[in-house]
Amino acid sequence: MKRLVFILMLIASPLWAVEPDEILDDPELEARARVISKGLRCLVCQNESIDESHASLARDLRLLVRERLVVGDSNDQTVEFIVERYGEYVLLQPRASGSTLVLWAAGPLMLLLAAGMGFIYLRGRSSATEGSDAALTDVEKTRLREILDSNS
């Protein structure tokens, strides 16, 4: 039974996403390709790197990475080429610049804004005087007594 579970785990393992025909002959280039592939998002799966994904688009991106490395691009040049082609969304860890800084800062800023508004609201409620409401008129008092007596 343990062997069956082990075999099933190996079959389901994301390590098998890279197919044998994709692997480069040069082990150094292959290692660089794996490092780059682990940082790029599969545009189909969205929460997996292209190194883990079995999607055909991920395979195309893995081949593109290897092609760029064989041509002589550095790791940064390869990533830049793919980002220019597919946008920053292809990065699993987006760069902290421009619009991504706004997105990262929006959550904490909204939390601080909500806390401030809640504090102001509660402080205004506690400082309100109870005598500020006008007293009931005689007609309202009579009507209130009628309602209370009819419910009893």
**What's the confidence (pLDDT) of residue 76?**
92
Residue 136 lies in a domain: no
Rounded Cα–Cα distance for residues 119 and 98 (Å): 31
Residue 36 lies in a domain: yes
Q: What is the pLDDT of residues 87-135, one digit of tens each?
A: 888 988 877 777 778 888 889 999 999 999 999 999 888 776 665 456 7
Q: What is the pLDDT of residues 16-72, one digit of tens each?
A: 567 777 777 888 988 999 999 999 998 888 788 898 888 889 889 999 999 999 999
Residue 23 lies in a domain: yes
pLDDT beyond 90 at 13: no
Dihedral sign of CA atoms 124, 129, 132, 138 in order: positive
Give yes or no for a contact between 34 and 51, defined as CB atoms under 8 angstroms apart.
Answer: yes
Domain span at residue 26 reads 8-90
At residue 64, the 3 state secondary structure works out as helix
**What's the confidence (pLDDT) of residue 24?**
78
Distance of CA 114 to the CA centre of its chain: 22
Residue 150 lies in a domain: no
Q: Are residues 82 and 16 in the same domain?
A: yes
